[in-house]
Structure 1
Amino acid sequence: MAEDETALIVIDVQQGFDDPRWGPRNAPGAEANIERLLTAWADASRPVVLVRHDSVENASPLRPGQPGNDLRPFVAGAAHELLVTKHVNSAFHGEPDLEGWLRARGIRRIVLCGVQTNQCVETTARVGGNLGFDVTVALDATHTFDLEGPAGMRLTADELATATAVNLQGGGFARIAATDDLV
């Protein structure tokens, strides 16, 4: 593969995120944008990596053996070169070794999309940036859920997505882009 090749990494687009336990979400068009990215990468014969979160928590809908662990059908059926499974937020801490796979192919640029914006997508972007990859996050091809923190502090899913965009681009970890600019 050419050194300027860009891999699309689709993170945790799993059926378990449809569970109401997660609460209110944002970005109702995220799945359509993820599908557009998958189609564009397939049409250009560019590499695609799928990532699945295999939760170790017994009550999690993302636990292996539960229907929620399955990738959503439009992702599961997508052409891809690698499936990474993980138990933590970063796809770079899964199996098989994502960093090694990318480097063996001379891939330095990655585009991230998926679920949750402020969790696994943001963490993968930060680690990827720290490892020296040129990272872009297709923000409108991600979604997240409202979240409560300490002392009753609460941020909406939209506020969390904004914070992620500011953290990643402002902090020099990744560029933020729209799906339209990437397809």
Structure 2
Amino acid sequence: MAMSNTALLIIDVQQGLDDGDFYGGNRNNPQIVENIPTLLTLFRSTHKPIFHVKHNSINPASPLHPSKPGNAIHPWAAPIEGEPIFEKTVNSAFVGTTLEKVLQEQGITRLVVCGLTTNHCVSTSVRMGANLGFEVLLVGDACATFDRVGPDGVLRMAEDVHMHSLTDVHGEFCQVVNTKEVPDLIK
């Protein structure tokens, strides 16, 4: 297997995140069910490393609690043999896991990131990855989020929350790209 300094990081693509009622409703970007598998196929076919992150909520009512079936990774994003899963209980994929150490040991300096949800675990992991010195490409059309009520009581639509989250990190913590751009960017 060829070594690569670029890895795919898939964050929290778990069945419990289909529970729109629990998370605020109206998840945007249904194309993730096609775009994430496209990224997986690309990285597998080019023998580049893939790392999965799974959220184990400490809230027993959460669909992502380890006791719930929703804790499972979606079959369309599931790891295959040799693709490690890092389990976390907070928003960052780097806190309470060995992810940073493993990436450094493998000489990985660049991360292509996708997953759920754009404004929570994806954004937090992108920010921290950049702060730790990794170059980060965030695949915006391979991420999604939910409607959110702001502190002012106003309902923000999922697509607006998603785009604001991408806007906040682009150019500061990462480069936001789309799935079709990734093959040329990881050559």
Class of the TM-score when normalised by the shorter of the 2 chains: over 0.9
Q: Superposition RMSD on alpha carbons, in Å?
A: 1.4
Q: 2:19: which partner in 1?
A: 19
Task: Compute the displacement of 1:16 (Å).
Answer: 0.2
The 10-residue stretch of structure 1 (22-31 or 8-17) with the greater mean CA deviation from structure 2: 22-31
Judge conservation of contact 1:42–1:79 (CA < 8 Å) in 2.
no
Distance 1:102 1:10, change over 3 A: same
Q: Normalized against structure 1, the TM-score is what?
A: 0.93
| Shift in alpha-carbon separation, 1:79–1:32, aligned structure 2, 3 A | farther
TM (norm. structure 2) is 0.92
For residue 154 of structure 1, report the CA deviation from its aligned partner. Answer: 2.5
Tell me the amino acid that sits aligned with residue 51 of structure 2.
V
TM-superposed deviation, 1:162: 1.1
Alignment of 1:107-126 (within 5 A): 107-126=108-127
Deviations 1:113-148 (A, max 9, x none): 000011111110000000010001000000100111
Question: Could you tell me how far 1:78 is from its partner in structure 2?
Answer: 3.6
> What is the 5 A alignment of 1:64-143?
64-95=66-97, 97-143=98-144
Unaligned runs of 5+ residues in structure 1 are none
| Paired residues, number | 180
1:9 matched residue in structure 2:
9
The residue type equivalent to 1:122 in the other structure is S
Contact 1:50/1:80 (<8 A) preserved = no
Distance in 2 between residues matched to 1:78 and 1:163, nearest whole Å: 33
Structure 1 stretches of 4+ moved >6 Å = none
Name stretches of at least 5 consecutive residues in structure 2 with no aligned partner.
none
